[in-house]
Structures are given as C-alpha cells and as structure tokens.
Copies of this chain bind each other. A is one copy, B any other.
Amino acid sequence: MSDFKRLKLNLVKPVPSDYEISRNQTPKHISEVAAENGITETEIEPYGAYKGKVKLDVIDRLQHRKDGKYILVTGITPTPLGEGKSTTTVGLAQAIGATLGKKAFANVRQPSMGPTFGVKGGAAGGGFSQVIPMDEFNMHITGDIHAVGMANNLLAAALDTRMFHEATQSDKALWKRLCPEKKDGTRDIPIGLLPRIKKLGLDTIDPKEWTEEQVSKFVRLDVDPKTITWKRVLDLNDRSLRGVTINQAPTEKGLTRETGFDITVASEVMAILALSSSLKDMRERLGKMVVASSKAGEPITCEDLGCAGALTAIMKDAIKPNIMQTLEGTPVFVHAGPFANISIGASSVLADKMALKLAGTEPGLSAEEEKEQAGYVITEAGFDFTMGGERFLNIKCRSSGLSPDVIIIVATVRALKVHGGGAEVKAGAPLPLEYTTENVEMLRTGCANLQKHIQNAKEYGVDVIVAINRMSSDSAKEHEVIKEAALAAGATDAIVSNHWEEGGQGAKDLAEGVIKCAHKEYASQKNSGESFHYLYSTEGSSIEEKIESIAKVMYGAGSVEFLPQAQEKIKEYTAQGFSNLPICIAKTQYSLSHDAKLKGVPTGFVFPIRDIKASIGAGYLYALADQIQTIPGLATKCGFMNVEVNDQGEIEGLF
C-alpha cells in the first residue's frame, strides 16, 4: 500500500469531545480513499466529498484473489460502563493500517438515527479512534436506512390496502381490477403477480379457462388479521408508536386493526440487506418475507402481494457498501445495521466479502510473501460474544460461507468489576470507588465472565485474543490479572490497548498480536488441530434442539422451557417447512442468562422461550426469551436538545 496517505493525529490530553476531534481532522476526498485501496474510478460513486458507494463489480473483478484475514471483534457481557468494542474495531484498523502500514478495513454497522438523537451517542468509535466525519456517519450516510424504511413500509401499505380491497370487493371485481381484460380478450397481468400464479400452479392454464375457484384463490389472499407479523417502521425513538390502531379514518370503513411500529433497523429488510450475497439473492429474499398467514394457515409472502420487484428497486443502491475513513485515513465500510437483539447485529456480508477481496492476495505467492501482503478486515458483532458472536458465526457466517481467523474479546477493568460484584452504576452519579481504584479481588471474580466468553468462542475452533481496553485508573497489576485469567481460559493472548487516547499508535501491540495470531505464529497455536465449525447443524435438528444447544452450551442454562405460545409456533413453522433455519435468540444483553440481574457467570437456570417469530427472507427464526422493546423511547432530557447548527453550518453538540 505504497500510496496510502496517513492522516496525522494531533493527540492532546485530556481527550476532547468526539465531535471536536472529528471536526479538527480534514478527511481525504473519498475518491482518494477508494484509489488507495484498489477501488477503480468507475467502481466508486462518491456521495459528497467524504462518503461513497462501491459497486459490487469489485467482488467479481477480484474473485481470483485469496481473501485477507477476517477478524471479529466482540466483547464481554455489556455493563452500563461500556467496554469499547466499536472504538477497538476502529483503533485496531488504524493501528494495522496507519501505524503498521498494511491494508486494513474496519467494517461497521450504520447507526440508527433513533439513538443518535436519543441518549446513546454515536457509534463511530470515540476519542482518537473514530470514523469521520462523525456527523455524516451518524446521520443519513447515503440513505440506506431510509431505503430500508421505504421498502418495509411499502410492503405494509400493500398488505393493508389489499385487505381493504378484498374486504370491499367481490372476486369478480378484484379479478377485473387486478388483471383488466384487454381488447383481444386476454388479461393484462402485472409482472409482480406472476410468481403467485406460478405458486398456485396456474401458470400452465390459460386465464380464460380458470374456474371461479381458481380465480378466487388467485385474487383473494384471505389474510387472517390476527396472524399479521409485519409492522411499519421509523428510524426514530418514538415510544408513542409502540402500539397503535390504524384504519380509523372514515374512508377505511371501520376495518380498524391494532399494530405497532418498530425502529427501522429492526426491520427484516435490514437483516436481508446484511445477509444478501448479491442483488439477485436480495430480490429472492425480499420475495420470501412472510407477513401473515391466510385463514387456511398458509404463509402470505411479499411475493404474493406482488411487491418484491418494487422493494428491490427501492433497495437497488442500498445494496452497494458505503466507504468512509478513520481519523488516520484508513478505509471503513459502513453497511447495514440490523438490530442486535431480534436480529444479527452485524454489518453486511457483501461489505465483508468486498473488503476481504480488496485486502486479499494474488494467487501464487510464497507463505512469506503472502503474510507480507495480506490485509485485514476487522468487523464487529453486537453485544457480547455469546449473543453477537454466536449469531455472527451461526447465522452470518453460515449465510456467507466465510469464517473468522481471529476472535477478539474486548474487556475493561471497570466492566469486569461490575461482573465481580461492584456496586450498581447510576447515570449521572459519581462512580463508586472500586471502579476508579485498584481492586484485584473484585476484578478476579469478574474475570469469570470473560473466561466464559473465551470458552464459548473456542467452541467454534477459532483462536481468541483478549483486548484490554485501557483506562487511566487501571493498575498494571489489574491488567496482569486479566491476562492470567484469559490465558487460563484458552485465549491465545491478552493485550492492553490505548487507542482511545492515542489512536492507532495506542493499539500497536494489539495489532501485532492479532497479525501474529491470524498467521498462527503463537507457539500455542502450532499443531492445535482446531478448525472452524458451527455450534449446531440446521438440517436434521429440530427447532427445540437448536435452541437448547445455544442456551445450554453458550448461556449455561440447565434446561429450556418452551411456553405454550412458543410450542404452538414451533408446530406451525415446522408444518410450514421453516424448521431447518438457524435461530436468533432475543434476550437481555446484560447477562449471559435471560435475567439482566444475574451478573458474572450464572449456571443451571431454566431458560424460558416465550414466543418464536420468523424472518424467512433473512433466513432465520427468532426465539424470544423476553419482551423485547423494538422501538426505544426518548428520555425527558435527550440528545436532540444539545444539537445546534452554528453560523459556519457545522453541527454542534451531536455528542
């Protein structure tokens, strides 16, 4: 990467606000970032000066290359103190790319604007490890979330409108309107309705010959309103929309219905964006999305509504990964952002494939040349290893066919102390003393949580590096304790990193360890004989068995209790032929168990499954261990109140 232009950091202490740091760095034009990373002029589509979309052609052009190394960043069980996964992802990319001068891509999710204007703050890393410009990163980017929302909501409108028209028209009227008779007596059938004709086996019969029953079957989807799972979405924290009654205008003739809105990133369309491997694959997945059942119990899909082509048209540009850069000018792919709870919480397969080819090596190199030239793709999974990492491996990797070379588990001294029994942390209140002074015993107890995640990761046959995200109040002794515990649990190494304060330079040791691990150069890796495998097989094991293996092996449950609603859904989905899909378990992220109060490493508990839902287009079922809130609310004082645009047109107070 001889022509890489590193952006110099102007390190200052104390570390200024994220926004100040972002604004004080002048990014390279995105065309320059693209060119430096082997993307041709015709493959990059700039969106303004600092963002661009990259055409999928890149993947085809570089198909012959051997992929670069694939690094997955995950964490310990989250605590209110955070552990800095995104910051580590970005800091590590800066270290490998800018400090060590190798190719390095950070692949991250596009943040939802809901939390941006709520309380959470940005998702672009932080301190001197950030994606820039951070305001552009946190708002709109190139409009992909907006496209997801449009696609999701067009399908919702199509469904409700179809139900309205079916309720107010005879079969004959529907037939006449959907497929008007032409002058020559044939029917004008919209292209979007052909798949349903085929599904019903009517494609071999001239429409003139259809019986009344066949016409009825075709024109009347006969949706059972009680079974509708499709909701509308907005990319905002709008609690008022959690539960709504629609169709209340007089024009809707009393056909009211209770439903609700989700936040856009919870849409199945977003999960499809993350998991699709091509435009064609996305088209097929969109068509397969199930929105309800008919009164006869058959799944009603997007394809049945004649909507899949239009949804694909809406998503045509969204499928191209977005490229931005870090504070030090290394490349970042920002693409897709599915909800981390009811979905996979990881960025897109296509961005990963694209980055792995761009970071890849030409065939025919010696092992040494290959190590010298190989690049790195660092990506992140939502929440901890046991939620985000598990889904990344069992759902995303199964869909992509890829597997990571190294799993990083991020931990901090403070967060581990929460798991070791530290006092409750309250927003706004001063931190209890144990978090700001050395407390080796509490930390040692808390390390059990880290160890469980390491052991869980090792179940998949992948090597683990623990990244100790350094804070100024840590002691050297404390770092030593974490390292000892990590190695004892099977980690290949545990390395302190200071990227928040120092950018890539602060993560240099971590970067060197990760590179060494990716090339299997640690002594402990020699002849380990381990290789990647999934936790469970999707075919030939029941829905219950898959859930049990996640709950028992990963979470430490003694047993799983399937509540009546869940049992019913298992029966239904099995009958509909959906039992061979992987499972996403939606539960609290604040404990390895289903109970947020259980810190550390709870074991032997009964893990409840309340309900099961289906994302057939995305390709998984999701099992609910909890009531999951799928659209957040705003606090009394919230993020938007701090935001202003100054006279120079710059955004102030975003974080």
CB within 8 Å of B: which residues of A? Answer: 45-49, 53, 113, 117, 135, 139-140, 142-143, 146-147, 149-150, 153-154, 156-158, 160-161, 164-165, 169, 174, 177-180, 190-193, 232, 234-252, 257-258, 260, 279-280, 283, 306-307, 309-310, 312-314, 316-317, 428, 633-645, 647, 649, 651-654
Contact = CB atoms under 8 A, between A and B. Distances in A.
26 contacts: A45-B46, A45-B47, A47-B47, A135-B313, A150-B235, A153-B238, A157-B238, A160-B238, A160-B239, A179-B637, A191-B653, A240-B246, A240-B257, A243-B249, A243-B250, A245-B245, A279-B645, A306-B640, A309-B643, A309-B645, A309-B652, A309-B653, A312-B645, A313-B643, A313-B651, A313-B654
B636 A178 contact: yes
Given A143-B146, A306-B640, 18 more contacts: A117-B310, A142-B143, A146-B150, A157-B239, A157-B240, A161-B238, A161-B633, A164-B240, A178-B641, A191-B653, A192-B641, A239-B252, A242-B251, A243-B247, A309-B644, A309-B652, A316-B645, A316-B649
Contacts of A177: 635-637
A641 B193 contact: yes
Contacts of A654: 313
Contact of A192 (B153, B164, B192, B643): B643
A236 B49 contact: no
Contacts of A149: 146
Nearest to A255: B240
Nearest to A113: B150
A227 to B, nearest CB: 17
B636 A169 contact: yes
A158 B237 CA distance: 9
Given A242-B251, A641-B190, A165 B260 contact: no
Given A140-B147, A240-B164, A647-B280, A307 B252 contact: no
Nearest to A181: B428
Nearest to A430: B183
Contact of A640 (B154, B243, B244, B639): B154
Contacts of A645: 279, 283, 309, 312-313, 316
B236 A240 contact: no
Copies held by the complex: 2
Contacts of A635: 177
A247 to B, nearest CB: 5
Nearest to A175: B636
Contacts of A158: 634, 640
B244 A240 contact: no
A45 B48 CA distance: 4
A45 B53 contact: no
A248 B249 contact: no
Contacts of A306: 640-641
A150 B150 CA distance: 12
A242 B234 contact: no
Contacts of A46: 45-48
Q: Which of A248, A249, A307, A313 has the most CB of B within 10 A?
A: A313
Contacts of A250: 243
A49 B47 CA distance: 9
Nearest to A650: B316
Q: Which 5 A-B pairs have the closest CB atoms?
A: A243-B249, A242-B249, A243-B248, A309-B644, A190-B641
Contact of A49 (B45, B237, B279, B309): B45
B652 A191 contact: yes
A507 B1 CA distance: 55
Contacts of A237: 157
A289 to B, nearest CB: 15
Q: Which of A139, A260, A316, A640 has the most CB of B within 10 A?
A: A640
A191 B642 contact: yes
A409 to B, nearest CB: 34
A150 B142 CA distance: 14
Nearest to A194: B644
A167 to B, nearest CB: 12
A642 B46 CA distance: 31
B260 A249 contact: yes
A641 B154 CA distance: 12
A248 B239 contact: no
Contacts of A234: 153, 232
Contact of A636 (B45, B154, B174, B232): B174
A177 B117 CA distance: 17
Contacts of A239: 157, 160-161, 164, 249, 251-252
B644 A191 contact: yes
